[in-house]
Amino acid sequence: MPTIRPRSKNVKVRPRIILVDDHPVARQGVRLLIEAAGDLNVCGEAPDADVAMELISALKPDLVVVDLSMKGKPGLELIKDLKARYENLLMLVLSMHDENMYAERALRAGARGYIMKQEATEKILMAIRRILAGEIYVSDAIAARVLRQLAVSGNQPLKSSLDLLTDRELEIFQFLGQGKPVREIAKTLHLSTKTIEAHREHIKEKLNLASSSELLRMAIQVTMEAG
């Protein structure tokens, strides 16, 4: 069930935030961090994309903090849907996934910032406040990389073969690069092993790889380089 928190009765209205993450403990930690700041208000929590859409429609938040890995629809797909429905809605990705593989994709989807869960707590608050102020928040390393790509390409960041992958396929590709077996990936993503195996075959085809061992080697190499 979604958690809805009432509006503050304070005279000064604090920016209202919805958290979308399928781990209750993670949501609680972020909520406590945000509300302890004093100038922000967590008005709702959702464990998946479907509940998030309902809450956002009902509560009209100022900002949504989204995890990428969730049961059902991935976080990036949720961001795209929200961007299409609420053009001006601010969104921040807070994820365990490596920013080197996901930050640019998240920004293209419609997020205004990307921050990894292992970052210091003050950086999470900094990211939220900057986005609320109309800025974009990514790490210095990601910002520098995007600028380098723009300088080389002249108009837009260079595309890699990984851009051929869907958001779910990229997620599975990274898990493979981390050495996770199919059964563990399926459990993490709340999908069947057959579904993961089907995605793996699609990834092989899109990356023009002849075998699962070639896919595994590439996934490991890319994941190591990203880290």
Q: Residue 220: which H helix or E strand, with range?
A: helix 212-226
- Residue 40 CB neighbours (<10 A): 19
Percent with pLDDT over 70 in the chain = 88
pLDDT, mean of residues 75-95: 94
Q: Which domain holds residue 214?
A: 161-226
The pLDDT value recorded for residue 129 is: 96
Better-predicted residue by pLDDT, 94 or 149: 94
The pLDDT value recorded for residue 1 is: 59
Is residue 150 in a domain?
A: no
59 and 109 co-located in one domain: yes
Residue 86's domain is classified under what CATH number? Answer: 3.40.50.2300
pLDDT, mean of residues 27-41: 94
The pLDDT value recorded for residue 160 is: 65
Percent with pLDDT over 90 in the chain = 52
CA-CA-CA-CA torsion sign (139, 145, 148, 150): negative
25 and 130 co-located in one domain: yes
- Kindly tell me if the per-residue pLDDT of 45 is higher than 90: yes
Q: Mind listing the pLDDT tens digit for each residue in 182-200?
A: 999 998 888 899 999 999 9
Residue 214's domain is classified under what CATH number? Answer: 1.10.10.10
- Least-confidence region, from 71-75, 132-136, 206-210, 221-225: 221-225
122 and 196 co-located in one domain: no
Is residue 94 in a domain?
A: yes
CA-CA-CA-CA torsion sign (90, 96, 99, 101): negative
Is residue 151 in a domain?
A: no
Residues 99 and 223: beta-carbon distance below 8 Å: no
Tally of domains within the chain: 2
The pLDDT value recorded for residue 158 is: 46
92 and 15 co-located in one domain: yes
125 and 218 co-located in one domain: no
108 and 168 co-located in one domain: no
Residues 6+ apart with CB under 8 A from 95: 67, 68, 69, 75, 102, 114, 116, 117
Dist CA 89 CA 131 (whole Å)? 11
Is residue 156 in a domain?
A: no
Write the CA distances from 129 to 14, 64, 193, integer angstroms.
12, 12, 40
Is residue 196 in a domain?
A: yes
The pLDDT value recorded for residue 117 is: 86
Is residue 152 in a domain?
A: no
Beta strand 3-4 pairing with 41-46:
antiparallel
Please, which pLDDT band fits residue 9 given cuts at 50, 70 and 90? low
